[in-house]
Amino acid sequence: MNILVTGGAGFIGSHVCERLLKQGHHVWTIDDLNAYYDPAIKQGRLRHLQALAKPFTFVHGDITDRAAVDELFASVRFDQMIHLAARAGVRPSLLDPILYARVNVEGTVNLLEAARLSGVKKVTIASTSSVYGTNSRLPFSEDDPIFTAISPYASTKLACESLGHVYHHIYGMDVCVLRFFTVYGPRQRPDLAIYKFCKLIAAGKPIPVFGDGSTSRDYTYVDDNVDGVVATMNREFGYEIINLGESQSVKLDYMIELLEKQLGRKAIIDRQPMQPGDVVATYANIEKAQRLLGYNPQVKIEEGIRRFVSWYREAHGI
């Protein structure tokens, strides 16, 4: 199949592209290589994909540029679109909510409209566990109320979910929305906690810990996440929202302990107050993913951290 993966130079996007290429699909990606973090990291991921010597095409473009999006869809007859491109991160969205709204909401509209006009019938959209906001009922279920978002990022992803429903309801597009839960692993974004903590601990520098260490996250290893993404491709949903998590909630203190064990160094803790927009815990109910996708995450946090640190050492020559 001809598959468009938006944001394919990103962390999760590059892994999705790699899996699809190895499965024999023709893959295109559009990515603007923005400076949210060092563009050289994204270029390195693209070189990795290009080195696979598979049918992969990179388009340097911005999804908020309607003309660029239309040109891409006019040049290729796509069978499906996996929409991963977005401005990510809760804390950065507090600093520039207008940018997040433009990229995440306007960009998604541009892509959905171009897909509709070119006859693409199946779309997978990445959302986030952040949409659950201050929900205190654990684990998070797709049927839980989602009207308590506490960051611009979460609000924009809720808008994307809603747009997906509009394009299903009005135009008959098959849309699956996947709510990701703290994905980590090789080629991870450098701004995310596991990467950042690993780098600082390895260098003997303090790590910023917001709160008392009791906050918890459903850390999802990237290979498991990709399993869920590609599983959507061969199924029809109409419109569905599905959690993709590891279905375990790990305390921040324990995650730091695992990094210390793998690095062989104690962390220097720089204790800081909780940040606006942060939630206390995330924890995915994955019964729906198991039922509809055959989703069965395999990598627990202990093994995932071991794999991540092994990759980090190799990537940085440690």
Catalytic residues: 153
The SS3 of residue 293 is: helix
CA 118 to chain CA centroid, Å, is: 26
The SS3 of residue 204 is: coil
The SS3 of residue 108 is: helix
Residue 223 makes CB contacts below 8 A (sequence gap 6+) with: 15, 185, 298, 299
Which two tokens mark 20? 């699809």
Q: Which of 199, 204, 206 is nearest to 315 (CA)?
A: 199
Q: Which of 300, 311, 188, 204 is nearest to 254 (CA)?
A: 300
CA distance between the termini of the chain: 40
Q: Where are the beta strands (DSSP E) in 163-213?
A: 174-180, 183-184, 206-210
Residue 226 CB neighbour total at 10 angstroms: 20
Q: Which amino acid is at 56?
A: F
Give the sign of the dihedral formed by CA 99, CA 159, CA 178, CA 91: positive
Residue 186 makes CB contacts below 8 A (sequence gap 6+) with: 222, 307, 308, 311, 315
Query: Distance between CA 82 and CA 64 in Å, rounded?
Result: 17
